[in-house]
Amino acid sequence: MIYKTHNIHHQQRAIERFKFLINKKATIELTEKKPKRTIKQNSYLHMILGWFGFEFGYTLEEVKQDIFKKIVNPVIFYEGEFGNLVPIQRWRSTATLDTKEMTIAIDNFRDYASREAGIYLPSPDEKDFLDEIYIELKNNNIIK
């Protein structure tokens, strides 16, 4: 069951369910549900990553993995090094971000693009510019 803890009725039902499972001596899992990023947000991200790559000769994947995650947003994406035999760097997938984290990461990338690379990346509400980018990326087989 999913309960919204800001709702007093949900709180009461969650507490009752929790007590029931404790008394039953059940094995349970308690997890926080974070808001997922939106499909729109994901499409927008891929559009600006693709445009950045197109302008500078990088693939979409190179921009996403090496620039967006490792250079611009390591605080959000870097999970550390693991492995018994050799150190292995672990980086989060964008799929694990919630809407707030994704917004911060995108804003960081737009700032980086402007400040460090001298390229303006449109905001999500600049539909005409995004339409032009979409056509260019589509015509060059950068996005599907």
Instruction: Determine contact, residues 35/99, Cβ cutoff 8 Å.
Output: yes
> Are residues 93 and 126 both part of a single domain?
yes
pLDDT in tens, 56-84: 999 999 999 999 999 999 999 999 888 78
Instruction: Determine contact, residues 68/109, Cβ cutoff 8 Å.
Output: yes
Instruction: Determine contact, residues 67/75, Cβ cutoff 8 Å.
Output: no
Instruction: Determine contact, residues 136/129, Cβ cutoff 8 Å.
Output: no
Closest CA to 131 of 57, 64, 54, 51: 51
The count of C-alpha atoms lying within 13 angstroms of the C-alpha of 116, restricted to the half-sphere facing its C-beta, is 12
Domain containing 24 equals 1-33
Provide the residue type at 81 as one letter. E
In a domain, 144, yes or no: no
In a domain, 14, yes or no: yes
> Are residues 67 and 108 both part of a single domain?
yes
> Are residues 20 and 61 both part of a single domain?
no
Is pTM beyond 0.85? Reply is no
> Are residues 45 and 67 both part of a single domain?
yes
DSSP conformation class of 68: I
In a domain, 29, yes or no: yes
> Are residues 85 and 19 both part of a single domain?
no
Model confidence at 144, pLDDT cuts 50, 70, 90, reads: confident
Q: Residue 33: its pLDDT value, please?
A: 67
pLDDT in tens, 2-38: 888 888 988 898 899 889 889 999 998 887 766 666 6
Show the tokens assigned to 74. Answer: 């390591």
Instruction: Determine contact, residues 121/52, Cβ cutoff 8 Å.
Output: yes
